[in-house]
Structure 1
Amino acid sequence: MRTVWLNGEYLPETEAKVPIFDRGLLFAQGVYEVTPVIDGHFCNWPYHAERIGRSMALARITDNTDWPPILDELIRRNGLTEGRIYLQVTGGAPADRDFLSPADPVTATRFAFTQAAPVVDQPKVGEGMRIILHPEGRWALRAAKTTQLLYAVLAKEAARDAGADDAWLVDNGMVTEGTSANAHIIDSRGVLVSHPVDHGVLPGITRLSALPLAREMGLAVEERAFSVDELFAAREAFITSATTVVMPVVEADGRKIGDGRPGALTLELRRRYVERLRQA
């Protein structure tokens, strides 16, 4: 049975419980991070620590948990070699429900758990992902990695209903991002185009690390929004996230991207990124 960590205790997953008045449950006042685990080590922690600090500030959550020793111990206790580790912090559990946080602050609820899953040899790498384009309907505060994920859930369900792997969200004809990943294209000029990490998309940690590697490969990078028309005219497309790392996208709404196969530049970027994680 998997061991999880909840508010300072390592527990069997069946014994970890959160009160019904927790503000993460009632108001989605919760933030989270996910980091890949490769060779028994979690990755990119300084970037995740910085982002969860920003997310907590935006969500009005205060917490100073020292996460790295906890994550190391969870990985050890669960014997995890490859997969991911998830942590979440909420506004805590006051005595009753109220939109306003208590005048006397309550302790944040904190938990973490591991998930075994392939990171390096993912089956979709060889064939690429198929996506649908879906209207952007999320709230405006997208830069914080909060647990307000209902719209992402619905978009993923729509993709599954359409026989696709995921969805890319579209706002006024411009692609914002995937449901749980940053979206990128390599356009007809061979330029990597990636939406800037303003309020309109999540500042992805994998994106942050992968774009410099693309520049090292000699690719020009433009951080700007790209249109649906540009997507269909692109040579290659891909997503970046902690769970997929760098994953090719070969089809959108039933139309091929490029030649309909994972692109050589995308696969090379993925190879370099995985190598970087192993070295780090």
Structure 2
Amino acid sequence: MRTVYVNGDYVPESEARISVFDRGFLFADAIYEVAAVLDGKLVDFPAHLRRLHRSAGELGMRVDISDDALLDIHRTLVERNGIEQGQVYMQLTRGAADRDFAFDTDAMTPGLVLFTLKKELIDTPVARNGLKVVTIEDLRWGRCDIKTTQLLYPSLAKMQAKASGADDAWLVRDGHIMEGTSNNAFIVTSEGAIITRPLSNGILHGITRATLMEYAATTGVRIEERAFTVAEAHQAAEAFVTSASMFVGPVVSIDGINLSDGKPGPVATQLRQHYIAESRKRLL
């Protein structure tokens, strides 16, 4: 049975409890981060901490625990649960109080929950076969840059995609691709340009996205940040997504239109290999 961390205690998952008045439960007044684990160590962990603090700051949420303590909790859970490959989920809530839309952050103690998932991250079906995606209208709230636990619409969008025979959805506003339900979106043009949306309040500031762009720059590969349309995506030579759960995931079909002959393309495959190799050099 997994060991999880709940508000200061390491407990078996069957004994984990939070208050029914926790605002994370009542209002999704909570933020989260997901750190990948390779070789029993954490990938991109400092960047995840920076984004956690940014999300908390945007919501006026307190973080009452040090970064060193958070690192220690992550490492302890990875060790106790024997995670060689997988993920650590960390969720921080504003705290518990009587149910009211108004709140007093200073009067509450933030809630903190962490748990692990064992998951193959290297030799995966996505890496071998790629993803099929469909485009769906983006009906999320306007602050997608804050990594909150308000994930109902992305979850419903993913289920809509699966019902249509696809693996995931790319969310669309005003005819332009925003991102996937839980990942950032890229296309590769027939001229070899790699394109992804610039950062804004409309998309998550992806950690894997940023790291991949850093690694790509060291190889001379240029990634252009600009909006792109659904029509451009349909005509792309390749496409891929980035996330902490997939690293670089090739996209082989968009709205039933095959890209790169319906197989993971060479650009996505090479970027994925490079990302994994470079990330292994700076695990924590």
Q: Give the TM-score of the pair, scaled to structure 2.
A: 0.96
Q: Distance in 2 between matches of 1:104 and 1:126?
A: 49
Q: CA deviation at 1:103?
A: 6.8
SS in 2 for 1:259: helix
Q: Retained in 2: the 8 A contact 1:233–1:258?
A: no
Q: Give the TM-score of the pair, scaled to structure 1.
A: 0.97
Q: 2:276 matched to 1:260?
A: no
Q: How many pairs align?
A: 279
1:163 alignment partner AA = G
Q: Distance in 1 between matches of 2:106 and 2:193?
A: 52
Q: CA deviation at 1:259?
A: 2.1
State the match for 1:227 in structure 2: 229
Give the one of 142, 152, 155 matched to 1:153.
155
- Structure 2, unmatched stretches of 5+, are none
State the match for 2:96 in structure 1: 93
1:34 alignment partner AA = V
Q: Retained in 1: the 8 A contact 2:61–2:105?
A: no
Q: Distance in 1 between matches of 2:261 and 2:227?
A: 23
State the match for 2:78 in structure 1: 75
State the match for 1:55 in structure 2: 55
Q: Deviations over 1:175-207 (max 9, x none)?
A: 000000000011122111011111110000000
Q: CA deviation at 1:219?
A: 2.3
Q: 2:40 matched to 1:40?
A: yes
Q: Distance in 2 between matches of 1:262 and 1:199?
A: 30
Q: CA deviation at 1:212?
A: 2.1
Q: CA deviation at 1:252?
A: 1.0
Q: Retained in 2: the 8 A contact 1:134–1:168?
A: yes
State the match for 1:4 in structure 2: 4
State the match for 2:145 in structure 1: 143
Identity %: 43
Q: Distance in 2 between matches of 1:51 and 1:4?
A: 22
State the match for 1:198 in structure 2: 200
1:131 alignment partner AA = V
Q: 2:17 matched to 1:17?
A: yes
Q: Retained in 1: the 8 A contact 2:64–2:110?
A: no
- Structure 1, unmatched stretches of 5+, are none
